[in-house]
Amino acid sequence: MAGTASAVKTPDTGNRWLDSIMWGRQWTSGAAEGDATEVTYYIAGTNGEETITLDDGSITAFVPYAAETQAMLSAMDAMSSVANIAFTGTTSQATTDLIWGSVDNKDGQDSLGWATPPGTAYSSTYQDHQSGIAINREKYDPDSTDANFLVAGGYDYITFIHELGHALGLAHPHDKGGGSLIAPGVKGDGSSGNHGLSQGIYTMMSYVDGWQTGPVAPGADKTYGYEKGPMAFDIAALQIMYGANMSYHADDDSYA
């Protein structure tokens, strides 16, 4: 085992909306019931360009922009605020469960980013005990190295939470990745399905931006108006897999 966790099968829920975004594998660290699943992470390139070896070759992780590092950390905070997951940083690829990498367009496979779900053959070095998360920096807006473009709620930030969702065991609602179902009424990656529920308002795993960009919405921009973290379906799925974080905002909240 490379890190603290290993991959196990996720049982079906019987709810088609949730089963459409659950890959079928999740992490476990052998924690007692009610305790957090411990998942370690490593941000490659922190100390200089770094090679990440895969089964079919290798990719290069560049030194991440400060805004990218903050987005990676914010994405993990967003997940652990609703799911009972404890993320802990490590100092090498060999001792971690998740490897983050800021890559170029070639290694980003000409997409915004990609990730390997738990239990996927990522690298034969560590079998199925690591997930890789590649963020394609060349797909950003030309000015997105400005932290404003990578803050929670900004368009480019979605890639970080979406790909981390994959690395934790979430799937797209529009395909059958990992043996998942297709969400009710969804006809393709641009379809919002029955009642318009397969869109970013309800799940960060959809490719459909949703109402925030629609004609009657207040509007959205590169810096605001998009998902800040897991949405309703994502939260339900993550809590089924990992339990709920019952200590987050456990005290009374006051609003003025």
**pLDDT tens-place string over residues 87-124:** 999 999 888 999 999 999 999 989 999 999 998 765 55
* 130: nearest Cα among 16, 3, 43: 3
pLDDT band at 214 (very low <50, low <70, confident <90, very high): low
The answer to whether 187 and 108 are in contact (CB under 8 A) is no
Residue 92's φ and ψ, nearest 5 degrees, are -155, 155
Segment 146-190, tens digit of pLDDT: 677 788 988 899 999 999 999 999 999 999 999 999 999 999 999
Q: What predicted TM-score, i.e. pTM, was given to this entire model?
A: 0.92
> How much is the pLDDT for 124?
52
Q: Distance between CA 64 and CA 124 in Å, rounded?
A: 26
* 38: nearest Cα among 46, 27, 47: 27
pLDDT band at 45 (very low <50, low <70, confident <90, very high): very high
Q: Distance between CA 130 and CA 122 in Å, rounded?
A: 7
Instruction: Provide the CATH topology of domain 6-242.
Output: Collagenase (Catalytic Domain) (3.40.390)
180: which residues sit within 8 A by CB, 6+ positions away? 19, 20, 21, 22, 23, 24, 171, 172
How do strand 131-136 and strand 98-103 relate by DSSP bridges? Answer: parallel
